Amino acid sequence: MTTTAKKPGPSSAKADQLANLAKGLEGVIGGSTSVCSIEQDKLIYRGYEIHDLAAHATFEQVAFLLLEGHKPSDAELARFKAELVAERRLPPLVIDYLKKSKELIDSKAAVPMDILRTAVSLLGNLDMAAQVNTADANLRKAKRLTAKIPTIIGHMQNVIDGRAMIDTETGGDPKLDHAANLFWMMTGNKPTKEEAHILDVSLTLYAEHEFNASTFTSRVIAGTLSDMHGAVTGAIAALKGPLHGGANEAAMEMLKEIESFDRVDAFMKHAFETKRKIMGFGHRVYKNGDHRAAILHKLGKVYAEKKGAQYAKWFQIGEKVQRIMLEQKNIHPNVDFPCGMTYYAMGIPVPQYTPIFVAARITGWAAHIMEQHADNRLIRPLSIYTGADERKWNG
């Protein structure tokens, strides 16, 4: 009788480990932080809940809160805003690189997030404090990056659109607040009060979100005692992916593919049958809905309806998609879904949605990088080996 040897399975101990494996580190506590708290029905930045901040604080106030650790006084806010305005201008080498944006994008060698990532890395090469990780040096670098990233986005989009770069000597209009200046630099149009407010609120909503993929990436890099610019460069690379920051772009592209209200049912039916991922829905932490989404949806819908039917239709399509997802899959939209529709109504180019995310999240990243440097331990998790058993090379 012939017997076939069975391939040995994992040991009992390894089988137990695999059974308890938290794939994607879901549910695993990776550290502690005083920057942000995510709860089922709340998102809190240093003690302040997101609805409160969206309704009553400007992005500059939120950026100060995250970077300097407390609510600013009027004098502190004025000083902080002046510091940001003074740091908006880009070095000539970075401007020269950005002049190649259209060429790189047209050749398919890069997308705007790649351009932004490399520009931030270049800024590190030109910052005399790049290698210094003291608290004071890190705070100054964080402010410089917060100020310069919107300028990078603006100059890049000017080149893509075939326009002359706006305000290369100043990095914008010093009379404009942070969000309004970003809009001006990127579109060549001074925003209305409503447009500036909507963009400002969106930056606040995107500013911080605890140990998400890009923030955790920045902390892993900082944990090796690498520098602020290096950690932010890595975070940008992590945010680029469509399962993280790129979801706002992917959500809007999906809505453009649907095109009309009458096509929603057929599109969703086919998507479910083919197991297509519906972008802008679901969240690893929020199981009962992302409360940031409702804030931005309300602002964007009111604005789009004022602009006309050709803009309001995206919210009509989007709301039907939301209804089907909730009824058939019990999945709620996250903030990326209304972001896509809102930015589109405002005339913001879709490929810049995720770079704008960076313009907001730089404040949260920097806060986490500074926190990691201040109380550091190398982040080094373990893994469970599932490869071949030990064998001889010459056996």
Asked if 375 contacts 221 with a C-beta cutoff of 8 angstroms, the reply is no
Active-site residue, selected from the candidate residues 209, 283, 297, 373: 283
Q: What angle do CA 248, 307, 184 make, to 5 degrees?
A: 65
Spatial distance between the Cα atoms of 125 and 107, rounded to a whole number of angstroms: 26
Judge whether 56 counts as a catalytic residue. Answer: no
Q: Choosing from 51, 114, 197, 244, which is the catalytic residue?
A: 244
**CA-CA distance, 339 to 280, in Å (whole number)?**
9
**Catalytic hit among 167, 336, 368, 373:** 336
**Would you call 161 a catalytic residue per the annotation?**
no
Active site residue 209: no
Taking the alpha carbons at both ends of the chain, their separation in whole angstroms is 28
Coil, helix or strand for 333?
A: strand
Between CA 388 and CA 392, with CA 391 as vertex, the angle to 5 degrees is 150
The tokens describing 362, both together, are 């730089």
Residues 6 or more apart in contact with residue 313 via CB below 8 angstroms: 260, 261
Distance CA 390, CA 35 (A): 45
Closest CA to 111 of 349, 369, 275: 349
H-only helix segments in the chain: 12-19, 50-56, 59-68, 74-86, 92-98, 101-106, 112-126, 135-160, 178-187, 193-206, 213-223, 228-239, 247-258, 264-273, 291-307, 309-329, 336-345, 353-374
Mind telling me the catalytic residues?
244, 283, 336
